[in-house]
Structure 1
Amino acid sequence: MNGRARISALVAVVALLLSPTTAPTASAADGPPVVKLSRSQAGTGGSVTVSGSGWRPRALLMILICGQSVPSTGVRGGTNSCANADGRAVTTDAEGRFSRKLPVAEPPVPCPCVVHAATVTGARAEADAVFRVAGHTVEPLPTEPDGGRLSVLTDTRLDGSDSLLTRFGAPPARTLVFTVGNVGTSDVRDPVFHVGTSHGVFAPQWQEQQWRGTIRPGKKARVELSVELAAGAHGDYTVSLKYGGKVMAEQPWGVSRPWGVTLFWILACLVVPAALFRLGMAVVDRVRPRQKARRPRPRLPEVALRLPGLRPRQEARHSMRSSSALPWFTPDDDPGTAGRLSAPHDDGPTSPGTPTTKGPP
């Protein structure tokens, strides 16, 4: 019994020693994504190694250097505040980790700056790390105005579906639906939102849309804004919502290819050449000289048109003989034949074939 008790105590001590190390690992895996930098400052032309963990496995990320931003407030102004031309894309591994070297470039707005990492497709996830671009201008962040301030309370979504005309190149359209709340101290009347659409890693194209209504302090409202892409658009798009110079939400949008347009061009490539060919043949037939009408050839005798061996030779000879006679004479009425076949006359000369009568001796 003493030996068993010692073994049980030893197992308990080992479990206690291992439990503090395993618990933080599990909690870190369930936490938000993290971005770390190999250095906190670098000048233009240099590079910094960006590594991350806690991301979705096999996720495509975009890494940018953005200005007028701090990790607590996010990127102000969206990707318009980032050096988009020098960004880098990276794909996480099976454990949600990545490591990528990023060239240092000056953003279009002053610092404070961050290295911003965000997913390109799928569920939205992002993380920032403080970074200083040596030699770049640094200015304080603009203060938010007092009074009414709006905040997105729920996740945004896109309502709507494609119609038959969309399959043939009509502009895809959706409705951006979200709920905002007034976290300020005064009313917000007729707020003006900016809705932007971006394709891939390009910067969004913003459009102003005004929502009619009043949101009182501590109240919320459901907002619906229309979103429309260009005709024939297809691929992965991102719809962004901005209010007061700050990006409040982003929603991915996968647009299918308009196969009706492809089918139309295939039919056009088949029908148009065939129509042009028939038109050309009609023109050639109209302009070419016509041949003079030939005189009909004399018809051959009926015997010549028949195959040999189908009737006896005697009948053929009789037909040839009858065809040589004049049409108004029959073989019996032929003058030559009638003279030869009729009895000799008394006054006619004796012919050698006529028998002579002898008198009495």
Structure 2
Amino acid sequence: MRTAVLGAVLALVLVPLAGAVSVSPAAAAARPGVKLSDSEAGTGGSITVSGTGWRSGALLMMLVCGRAVPSRGVIGGTNSCANADGRAVTTDASGGFSKRLPVTAPPRPCPCVVHVATVTGEKAEADAVFTVAGHPVEPLPKEEGGGRLSVLTEARLDGSDGLLTWFGSPPSRTLVLTVGNVGTDPVKNPVLHVGVAHGVFAPQWEEQEWRGTIAPGRKARLELPVELPAGAHGDYTVSLKYGGKVLAEQPWGVGRPWGVTVFWILLCVVVPAAVFRVGMAVVDRVRPRGSTGWAGRHRGLRLPRLTRRAPRTASAGGTSRDTAVSPAPALPWFTPGRDPGPATNGQLSAPHENGPTTQTREGHT
């Protein structure tokens, strides 16, 4: 009886463990992988790239890269790849894809690979060995097997933006950190990779060689320059990778170059005003000589004199003619320099009918 109960308990315990052990190989097989339809092709041709084990709905970029092997990755990052002829592909619901990729000679010599990496979201990448027919082949730089670098202090970015950066000059910083050799062999002239990522995009890696030797158990201070393109602004992340492992990441917030905006605003105001003034000067120069210039016409405006004409009268011959009307004579008592005489009851009065002026006028009549 006791034996039966013990057997039942062991069955209940071992069955779940067996199921867990059986799932592990499946999980291991879900790692991203890449396969090629041909291992060698010449420039101008194309190959089919297929993959499995990727995240569903992930956006991937496929590139032909030189100076790379799957065990060490792409030395120099995407600077060693034919970026202009890359292809983007989106994985299906099961994490697989298949697409044609044109064969183009990379900027660096072989050994070459077809490099596939995620563009957004969680980082993942995979390489497949590929040979570009007719492309030169050079050996890769030697890598010390027993030396390992580890970051001892937190990385930081030294430097500041100047006046030229405010007007669109490339922002630059210096990545400073202290590393130590935790391996058993010295690390001589280590080749480091400095990557810059904008927002959620994958970093663009650049190869930098640090000149020097770090003995086992020793440390060294690294100062690596980092520069962004002209006019760059927004949130960036600077990463340092050595031996296929990311050692440090540091965020970098770059301000907008407002000087460029102010310059364009001033340009849109000054140029039209200058063109207007030049146009007015040209108009004044090509106008007829007898006319008044634009500046003179607007400096003072003179109105023409109006001449009053008399109504048309009929002449003896039956034709009408215009007669000029002379200005009305001034009244005698308002003639300049003549006194109208004493006032009656405090008021001025018109001349009497029998006055001298009236009599003289009647005599002439």
TM-score (norm 1): 0.56
Task: Summarize the Cα distance change of 1:208–1:97 in structure 2 as closer, same or farther, 3 Å threshold.
Answer: same
Shift of 1:128: 1.6
Q: What is the rounded CA distance, in whole Å, between the counterparts of 2:16 and 2:241 in structure 1?
A: 50
Q: What is the rounded CA distance, in whole Å, between the counterparts of 2:207 and 2:140 in structure 1?
A: 22
Instruction: Give matches, 1:220-235, under 5 Å.
Output: 220-234=219-233
Shift of 1:24: 3.5
Q: State the partner residue of 2:116.
A: 117
Shift of 1:205: 6.8
Among the aligned pairs, what percent are the same residue?
50
Structure 1 residues 245-282: Cα deviation after superposition (integer angstroms, max 9, x where no partner): x7875969786653552343134213432355367668
Structure 1, unaligned runs of 5 or more: 1-7, 298-319, 343-361
Q: State the partner residue of 1:49.
A: 49
Q: What is the rounded CA distance, in whole Å, between the counterparts of 2:133 and 2:301 in structure 1?
A: 94
Shift of 1:37: 0.7
Task: Summarize the Cα distance change of 1:271–1:113 in structure 2 as closer, same or farther, 3 Å threshold.
Answer: closer
Q: Is 1:104–2:114 an aligned residue pair?
A: no
User: Do the aligned residues in 2 keep the contact of 1:192 with 1:209 (CA within 8 Å)?
Assistant: yes
Instruction: Give matches, 1:48-127, under 5 Å.
Output: 48-55=48-55, 59-92=58-91, 97-107=96-106, 111-120=110-119, 124-127=123-126
Q: State the partner residue of 2:149.
A: 151
Q: State the partner residue of 2:272.
A: 273
Q: State the partner residue of 1:19.
A: 19
Shift of 1:127: 1.9
Q: State the partner residue of 2:324.
A: none
Task: Summarize the Cα distance change of 1:326–1:105 in structure 2 as closer, same or farther, 3 Å threshold.
Answer: closer
User: Do the aligned residues in 2 keep the contact of 1:169 with 1:232 (CA within 8 Å)?
Assistant: yes
Q: State the partner residue of 1:217.
A: 216
* SS in structure 2 at match of 1:65: strand
Q: What is the rounded CA distance, in whole Å, between the counterparts of 2:67 and 2:265 in structure 1?
A: 50
Structure 2, unaligned runs of 5 or more: 1-7, 285-292, 307-329, 344-349, 357-365
User: Do the aligned residues in 2 keep the contact of 1:49 with 1:100 (CA within 8 Å)?
Assistant: yes
Q: Is 1:258–2:268 an aligned residue pair?
A: no
Shift of 1:224: 3.6
Task: Summarize the Cα distance change of 1:121–1:164 in structure 2 as closer, same or farther, 3 Å threshold.
Answer: farther
Q: State the partner residue of 1:351.
A: none
May I ask how many residue pairs the two structures share in their alignment? 301
* SS in structure 2 at match of 1:49: strand
Q: What is the rounded CA distance, in whole Å, between the counterparts of 1:123 and 1:154 in structure 2?
A: 26
> Which amino acid is 1:327 matched to?
G
User: Do the aligned residues in 2 keep the contact of 1:35 with 1:117 (CA within 8 Å)?
Assistant: no
TM-score (norm 2): 0.56
Task: Summarize the Cα distance change of 1:139–1:24 in structure 2 as closer, same or farther, 3 Å threshold.
Answer: same
Instruction: Give matches, 1:232-311, under 5 Å.
Output: 232-234=231-233, 258-274=257-273, 276-277=275-276, 288=296
User: Do the aligned residues in 2 keep the contact of 1:51 with 1:100 (CA within 8 Å)?
Assistant: no
Q: What is the rounded CA distance, in whole Å, between the counterparts of 2:59 and 2:176 in structure 1?
A: 26
Shift of 1:331: 3.8
User: Do the aligned residues in 2 keep the contact of 1:322 with 1:331 (CA within 8 Å)?
Assistant: no
